[in-house]
A and B are shown apart, each in its own frame.
Chain A
Amino acid sequence: MIAFPKATAFICLVGLGCAPTSHPALSGVQPVDSLTASWARPQYPSTYHRHSNSPVFIRNATILTAAGPELTHASIAFRDGRIVAVGADLTPDPDATVIDGTGKFVTPGIIDVHSHIGVYSAPGTFAESDGNEATNPNTAQVWAEHSFWPQDPQIDLAIAGGVTVIQALPGSANLIGGRSATLRLIPARTVQEMKFPGAPYGLKMACGENPKRVYQSRGPSTRMGNMAGYREAFIRAEAYRRRWDQWLSTHKGDPPERDLQLETLAEVLRGHILVHNHCYRADEMAQMLDLAREFGFKIRAFHHAVEAYKIADLLARSGTAAAVWSDWCCFKMESFDAIPQNAALLQQAGARVIIHSDDAIGIQRLNQEAAKAMYAGQHAGIPVTREQAIRWLSANPAWALGIDSVTGTLEPGKAADVVLWSADPFSMYSTADLVFNDGWLVYDRHDPHRRPASDFDLGITSPGAGR
């Protein structure tokens, strides 16, 4: 397992008590009451372990490292889940499996910050519809991982598209939809086996049309109602955080009663949970940046951000990333002003750009969505380089998920999340031929036995055939 360098982030895997200084579970001294109190115990911890794989050496490939210039006729070596070396003039270790990369491309594994795979699973019946707890505008208490179905056949399709990490999110029916889960996309029996060790949680929030449509009869039914809903929730969270922080520093009397909803929001206020905000319209994103300032937290990324290009300067200054589609348009009013140059204009303005999917088909070809966005910019005279566009799929989403010190680029010491493409990943005809997740070969296009197939596929399709 990779040691996660940020101890504070690891602490956040514990449900409460991410107060960085005084949490008893971290002090090494376990007070008696922590042996019985739920909040002090591990909360659904990751059981991920790295799968063993022989060392790999890919030679003579074009390598997009997402950390620097494109390397041609270059090699990459990885062992025990870590990248050992990237560059020209490397020699393989004697025990390494050598793969000829002539004419092929190597990139970091793709990271999708916006996926509902596993929470809205195929075959898409009501039984698998577990993504929106649409019973209250604020459901900060729910966790996406508690819905996640590791046998969703869509997982295998995404792996075949070169995706190694996803953020599984609650849907956007609610103002505050609940906690996300950052997962390694590997075949597994339980979601705990997929949980990215040390990754902070995210909080899904949603602006605009969806919450006001879903709750129009009980409210909020307007955008101003949406804003009032967020503010009310965070005002309560402020008080909750204060009560707990006070008790944790004194341990006087009974601890405050645990409230799952406020616990998550208090963690946002402490900066331990990263906010991922579904928000389309430019003016609404500006409102949300002010909301975050009011309560002293940061919005890590706006998702969908269809109108981000209209406030590219504002987003560049705020440091909030913009996770966008290449061209989704016109399915509702807040998507009506979509333009294919959104990502390119954001890049040009110096904002942090991410291409996301929000879609079980789109996640299979995020490299192509990035290609569409890159060329839409180039054709309109907006310069975007391949070195920049590859970061939209890897380094930038890794940052948005708080895992960029572990993965997202091809550099020595980083996790061996590596994809070998048959050709330029920005070409239509390119396919992900080999996908390594933390050094483990999870997918081989040319080996039917190295293509994961979920339980659902058995007896229904020929596993691995055309899937």
Chain B
Amino acid sequence: MRRRGNRLLLLVGLALASGAGAAAAQTIAITGGTLYPVSGPPIPGGTVLMQDGRIRAVGRDVTVPPGAIRIDATGRWVTPGLFHARTTLGLQEVGSVPGTNESEQSGEVKASFNVAEGLDPATPLIPIARLEGVTTALTGPSQGLIAGQAVLIDLLGEQVDSLLDRTPAAMVINLNESSKEAGGGSRAGALLRLRKLFADAAEYSRRKSDYSRNQMQSLSAPAQDLEALGPVLAGALPVLATANRESDIASALHLASEYHLRLIVQGGVEAWKLAPELAAARVPVIINPINDIPNFDGPGARFDAAALLDHAGVPVIIVEQETGGPRNLRWAAGHAVRFGMPWDHALAAVTLTPATALGVADRFGSLEVGKVADVVVWSGDPLEFASEAEHVFIRGVEVPRSSRQTELLDRYRQLPPAY
């Protein structure tokens, strides 16, 4: 795994020096609210100081420098920006219109497929999500035995490079019904094929010079895919494995142990049945807490699964996959609370826990000095319907309170509309 290439860093640098940089350079103090830093206990009457896109101070006794913009958050709740760990934001506009879908490549083994260059920073779906406090998202593919590489984006930026935070951020694989085809129609076959791919990737990595001299037996995937599996086998790039049935999650745990993978289980419908094993292996589980419909890929679906995993000590990451879109993330966390997860754990499940699992907790997921200034001021409990996000900051820049939806609303408030 690597951070963005030098070219990207250079572009970001240029962006910072221009308009976006000017906004980020402002010093902003959010004062008087109750801070929920996630990394520590709530701080009533606290201040968050943001400067140059970073959090510079958090606490009760913060000196606000002269000239800083002050936002009075008295009576408000202040949290880190929300981190959505399973989206197609920027990759999918209208589900049924293929021309607006960039998250999938055909085939079963696509380890080298990275979605980044298909991102559309102009998608109207990003403003809709960030108006509900979502500031960071993992976005990527989902289909195939090896679906490809997901990337991490900030929900602010006019160019792909300013949107991208880390690429790749995870390798997505499937260990469920959907990948049986890749294994000749059986789960065991899919695992066999995966092990062969991993073995070939290791062999390729050891003998690249032999490969280039054509002195190797044929390998089970093109060199570019085996190359892309290198960081996975080195334990550097997290593997996001979709697995729902208990036996599939057990297979994922076996694979992780054999190959020293940085495993994250996604879906996890029956993960609650293996909660002790997952907790012992410190394997995080990405779960949609409202998915309680049984099917043969996860017959043991239940609405309190997130709480059961959390109680067992499994790092729980909450996502939503509703048709209403990623804007519903905070309410997905609320559902977990409704069915027994402690409130602070549920907030962590949409902030610090995903940041930690994806190796970016040095920059995201909590209100701490030095972190990226992704901060939301809420009118009340962010997990409640009655509350709304009043201010959303991404990299220290307040995002505009408009979206395609707000424009439609404004147009049709009065009928007939003034076209």
What is the chain B residue whose CB lies nearest that of A336? Answer: B94
Q: Beyond A326-B324, A375-B385, A426-B385, is A460–B299 a contact (Cβ under 8 Å)?
A: yes
Give the complex CA separation of A21 and B260 in angstroms. Answer: 79
Q: In the bound complex, how far is the Cα of B324 from the Cα of A331, in angstroms?
A: 9
Stretch at the interface among B57-65, B161-169, B276-284, B329-337: B329-337
In the complex, chain B residues whose CB is within 8 Å of the CB of A467: 292, 302-303
The answer to whether A456 has its CB under 8 Å from any CB of chain B is yes
A157 lies within 8 A of B292 (CB): yes
| Set of chain B residues within 8 Å of A333, measured between Cβ atoms | 94, 96-97
- Whose C-beta in chain A lies nearest to the C-beta of B407? A339
Q: A153-B294, A361-B292, A461-B299 are in contact. Are A379 and B338 (CB under 8 A)?
A: no
Residue of B nearest to A369 (CB): B324
Inter-chain contacts of A456 with B (CB < 8 A): 294
A428 at the interface (CB under 8 A from B): yes
A32 proximal to B (CB < 8 A): no
Q: Does the CB pair A457–B294 fall under 8 Å? A: yes
Query: Do residues B383 and A331 form an inter-chain contact, with CB atoms below 8 A?
Result: no
Q: Is B290 part of the binding interface, using a Cβ–Cβ cutoff of 8 Å? A: yes
Chain-B contact segment, one of A52-60, A121-129, A283-291: A121-129
CB distance from A325 to the nearest CB of B (A): 7
| Residue pair A428, B96 in contact (C-beta under 8 Å) | no
- Residues of B in contact (CB 8 Å), total 47
Q: Considering the chains assembled together, what is the distance between the CA atoms of A156 and B384 in angstroms?
A: 26
A333-350 interface bits toward B, Cβ cutoff 8 Å, 1 = contact, 0 = none: 100111111000100010
Main secondary structure of the interface of A (DSSP, over half): loop
Identity of the chain B residue whose Cβ is nearest the Cβ of A459 in the assembled complex: B299
- Closest chain B residue, CB of each to CB of A371: B385
Task: Report, as a range, how many residues of chain A touch the other chain.
Answer: 35 or more
Which of A103-111, A228-236, A309-317 touches B?
A: A309-317
Q: State A309–B384 Cα separation when bound (angstroms).
A: 25
A214 at the interface (CB under 8 A from B): no
Does A37 have its Cβ within 8 Å of any Cβ on chain B? no
Q: How many A-B residue pairs have CB under 8 A?
A: 134
Give the docked Cα–Cα distance between A339 and B325 (Å). 12
A124–B296 alpha-carbon span in the complex (Å): 8
User: B residues within 8 A CB of A329?
Assistant: 128, 323-325, 405
Please state if B384 and A427 are interface contacts (CB–CB under 8 Å). yes
The digit string for B270-312, where 1 denotes a CB below 8 A from any CB of A, is 0010000000000000000011111110011011110010000
Docked Cα-Cα span, A136 to B224, in Å, equals 48
Interface membership of chain A positions 114-149, coded 1 if the CB is closer than 8 angstroms to chain B and 0 otherwise: 000000001111000000000000000000000000
Segment from B31-39, B248-256, B409-417 that makes contact with A? B409-417
B418 beta carbon closer than 8 Å to chain A? no
The CA of A275 and the CA of B304, in the complex, are separated in Å by: 38
Is B93 interfacial (CB 8 A cutoff)? yes
Question: Hey, which chain A residues are within 8 Å of B292, CB to CB?
Answer: 157, 361, 364, 466-467
A 353-378 to B, binary, CB cutoff 8 A, 1 in contact else 0: 00000011110110010011011000
Q: Is the CB of B385 within 8 A of A122?
A: no
Contact B294 A431 (CB under 8 A): no
Cα separation A341 to B300 with both chains bound (whole Å): 36
Q: Is the CB of B300 within 8 A of A331?
A: no
| CB within 8 Å of B: which A231-256 residues | none
Partner of B409 from the list A125, A331, A341 (CB cut-off 8 Å) is A341
Asked if B109 is at the interface (CB within 8 A of a chain A CB), the reply is no
Interchain CB contact (< 8 A) of A330 among B94, B272, B294, B383: B94
List the A side residues contacting B327 at CB < 8 Å.
327
| A464 → chain B closest CB, angstroms | 10
Cβ contact within 8 Å between B338 and A429: yes
Whether B173 is near chain A, meaning CB under 8 Å from some CB there, is no
| A428:B338 contact, CB within 8 angstroms | yes
Residues of B within 8 A of A364 (CB): 290, 292, 303
A218 in the interface, Cβ–Cβ < 8 Å? no
Give the contacts of A207-225 with B (CB-CB under 8 A): 209
Residue contact B290 to A365, C-beta cutoff 8 Å: yes
A446 at the interface (CB under 8 A from B): no
Kindly identify which residue among A123, A209, A339, A341 contacts B299, using a CB–CB cutoff of 8 Å. Answer: A123
Contact between B385 and A328 (Cβ–Cβ < 8 Å)? no
Docked Cα-Cα span, A60 to B150, in Å, equals 53
B contact residues around A365 at 8 Å (CB): 290
Identify which of residues 91-113 in chain B touch chain A, using a CB-to-CB cut-off of 8 Å. 93-97
B294 contacts A375, CB within 8 Å?
no
Alpha-carbon separation in the docked complex, A375 to B331 (Å): 13
* A residues 175-213 in Cβ contact with B at 8 Å: 209
Which residues on B sit within 8 Å (CB–CB) of A379?
388
Q: A332-B95, A345-B412 are in contact. Are A466 and B304 (CB under 8 A)?
A: yes
Cβ-closest chain B residue relative to A367: B385
Within the complex, the shortest CB–CB distance from B356 to chain A, in Å, comes to 25
Q: A465 contacts which chain B residues (CB < 8 A)?
A: 302
Q: How far is the CB of B362 from chain A (nearest CB, A)?
A: 31
Q: Which residue of B lies closest to A381 (CB)?
A: B413
Q: Is A154 an interface residue (CB 8 A)?
A: yes
Partner of B338, one of A125, A328, A341, A431: A431
In the complex, which residues of chain B have a beta carbon less than 8 angstroms from the beta carbon of A430?
A: 338
Complex Cα distance, B300 from A467, in Å, reads 9
Task: Specify which of A310, A326, A361, A372 is in contact with B412 (CB 8 Å cutoff).
Answer: A310
In the bound complex, how far is the Cα of B384 from the Cα of A375, in angstroms?
Answer: 10
- Inter-chain CA distance A49–B180, complex, in Å, is 47
Q: In angstroms, how far is the closest chain B Cβ from the Cβ of A11?
A: 38
Complex A-B, nearest 7 residue pairs according to Cβ-Cβ distance, in ascending order: A466-B302, A428-B334, A332-B96, A331-B95, A327-B324, A371-B385, A123-B295
Residues on B lying within 8 angstroms of A by beta carbon are 93-97, 125, 128, 272, 290-296, 299-300, 302-305, 308, 322-325, 327-328, 331, 334-335, 337-339, 383-386, 388, 405, 408-409, 412-413, 415-417
Q: A309-B412, A429-B384, A430-B338 are in contact. List 4 more A-B contacts (CB 8 A).
A: A340-B405, A368-B331, A460-B294, A466-B339
Q: List 19 A-B contacts (CB under 8 A).
A: A328-B324, A329-B323, A330-B95, A332-B97, A337-B408, A340-B405, A345-B409, A345-B412, A360-B293, A361-B290, A361-B291, A362-B322, A368-B385, A426-B385, A428-B334, A428-B385, A460-B300, A461-B294, A466-B305
